[in-house]
Structure 1
Amino acid sequence: MESKGSNLIKLLLLTQCLTVLCVSQDFDFFYLVQQWPGSYCDTKKSCCYPSTGKPAANFGLHGLWPNYNDGSYPSNCDPNNPFDQSQVSDLTSELQSDWPTLACPSNDGINFWTHEWDKHGTCSESNLNQHDYFEAALKLKQQANLLKALKSAGINPDGGSYSLANIKGAIKDAIGFTPYIECNVDTEGNSQLYQVYLCVDTSGSNLIECPVFPRGRCGSDIEFPTF
């Protein structure tokens, strides 16, 4: 016969497991992450254009990533719901245009979208199904037109250096929310504009001020390379 103490321990463990399960499916906001292809390619690792051809000289989506307010994030939340291309067949041309892959070897982008759904999208299932997830990211990208915002402020992808403060200010002035700028380094070790993070509410519909920014810093002046 089991003791009351043993049963209590089992109950506590079960409650803890259920709590972890629930938390793993929850999140506080999304990061909408767009990357500049010139900076992706202008590194020692280099890049490969997708099988559909060289993408336009514009920011491309990297992902729509659920996050917690403490800076951590859930990942790979539902292995039983893998990426299904048929669910987004009506979005394929937009995905190829606005969410292109630059990974080597050249491919059609399905591997990239599969990774993003499996790692990040499955953690938003309580709010967005597979089609809604990709559609939301595409709509947000149109809403947050980064290249237009920067060009309007005289910040052009011409290989020149620009003030980090001016880059952030141009985006905030045009879009209305404070961005986080991520840098990488070119083949010569110079810091360059790589990715821009904006934050989105849990519905995937509205941009918001970021509760927390990722770690990492750029220099005060960074390059904006050509593509």
Structure 2
Amino acid sequence: MGAKGWFILKLLMFQGLFVSRPQEDFDFFYLVLQWPGAYCDTKRACCYPTSGKPAADFGIHGLWPNYNGGSWPSNCDPDSQFDRSQISDLVSSLKKNWPTLSCPSNEGFKFWEHEWEKHGTCSESVMDQHDYFENALKLKEKANLLQILTNSGINPDDGFYSLTKITNAIKNGIGFTPGIECNKDPERNDQLHQIYICVDTSGTEFIECPVLPRGRCPSQLQFSKF
């Protein structure tokens, strides 16, 4: 590039016209589903929501826009604040399928607000607030992870199961390879904690993951009771 070309490039950058990609742009979603037994079986505090102990099932952690390179956008629109009136028809389903386990015990609105403002606002180009939560609920139902695992003899009974067996069971069930994330309980057992399923930019269809999460699990992990 000659001196003239560099000058034009610098001028465009200075004027704010040279942008590699808009912040709200993204390549795919992670649907992140969390096993409550593993969340609660750690040294940090766990509180059941005000509606009571959730069902022994995977709960939604979030629907997170991501880039193919492994990074992600966040808090894309500070002006787009969470409005609970927009999801009034979804609250009962959210309490069941997207329960909060943080302390102190609460209804879940703070959790949903955090997820919308950090992650959901980065997907406003394809879905509004109601669609964001509704799509996540539909995807969770579509995945039906607990049924997939129990059908393969993988049960939340504090037993230890092969990471390969867990991964293959989910892959066979949904048609795509999941990402698996573990944590450790106070006895230092590695536990099945979160499962990442990749979703297209419409937020409706599962796809093969362009990149898997960085979390690593050992070859054997515990599927804890809840």
Q: 2:15: which partner in 1?
A: 14
Is the contact between residue 60 and residue 100 of structure 1 (CA under 8 Å) also seen in structure 2?
yes
Displaced runs of 4+ in structure 1, greater than 2 A?
Answer: 4-12
> In the aligned structure 1, how far is the partner of 2:27 from the partner of 2:8?
34
Shift of 1:86: 0.3
Shift of 1:79: 0.3
- 1:8–1:211 Cα change, 3 Å: closer
Shift of 1:175: 1.1
Helix, strand or coil: the match of 1:118?
helix
Amino acid at match of 1:12: M
TM-score by length of 2: 0.94
Is the contact between residue 36 and residue 59 of structure 1 (CA under 8 Å) also seen in structure 2?
yes
Helix, strand or coil: the match of 1:30?
strand
Q: 1:96: which partner in 2?
A: 95
Q: 1:85: which partner in 2?
A: 84
Q: 1:40: which partner in 2?
A: 39
Q: 1:107: which partner in 2?
A: 106
Helix, strand or coil: the match of 2:19?
helix
Shift of 1:187: 1.1
Is 56-65 or 171-180 further displaced after alignment?
Answer: 171-180
Q: 1:218: which partner in 2?
A: 217
The runs of 5 or more residues in structure 2 that have no matched partner are none
> In the aligned structure 2, how far is the partner of 1:192 from the partner of 1:102?
17
Shift of 1:19: 1.9
Shift of 1:214: 1.1
> In the aligned structure 2, how far is the partner of 1:200 from the partner of 1:193?
21
Q: 2:24: which partner in 1?
A: 25
Amino acid at match of 2:108: G
- 1:10–1:48 Cα change, 3 Å: same
Is residue 116 of structure 1 aligned with residue 98 of structure 2? no
Helix, strand or coil: the match of 2:79?
coil
Equivalent residues in 2 for 1:1-227 (5 A)? 9-16=10-17, 19=19, 23-227=22-226
Is the contact between residue 180 and residue 215 of structure 2 (CA under 8 Å) also seen in structure 1?
no
> In the aligned structure 1, how far is the partner of 2:169 from the partner of 2:204?
22
Is the contact between residue 50 and residue 106 of structure 2 (CA under 8 Å) also seen in structure 1?
yes
> In the aligned structure 1, how far is the partner of 2:124 from the partner of 2:117?
11
Helix, strand or coil: the match of 2:212?
coil
Is the contact between residue 73 and residue 122 of structure 2 (CA under 8 Å) also seen in structure 1?
yes
Helix, strand or coil: the match of 2:62?
strand
TM-score by length of 1: 0.94
Amino acid at match of 1:223: Q
Aligned length: 222
> In the aligned structure 2, how far is the partner of 1:14 from the partner of 1:169?
51
Shift of 1:10: 4.8
Helix, strand or coil: the match of 1:207?
coil
Helix, strand or coil: the match of 2:15?
helix
Is the contact between residue 40 and residue 46 of structure 1 (CA under 8 Å) also seen in structure 2?
no
> In the aligned structure 2, how far is the partner of 1:7 from the partner of 1:160?
63
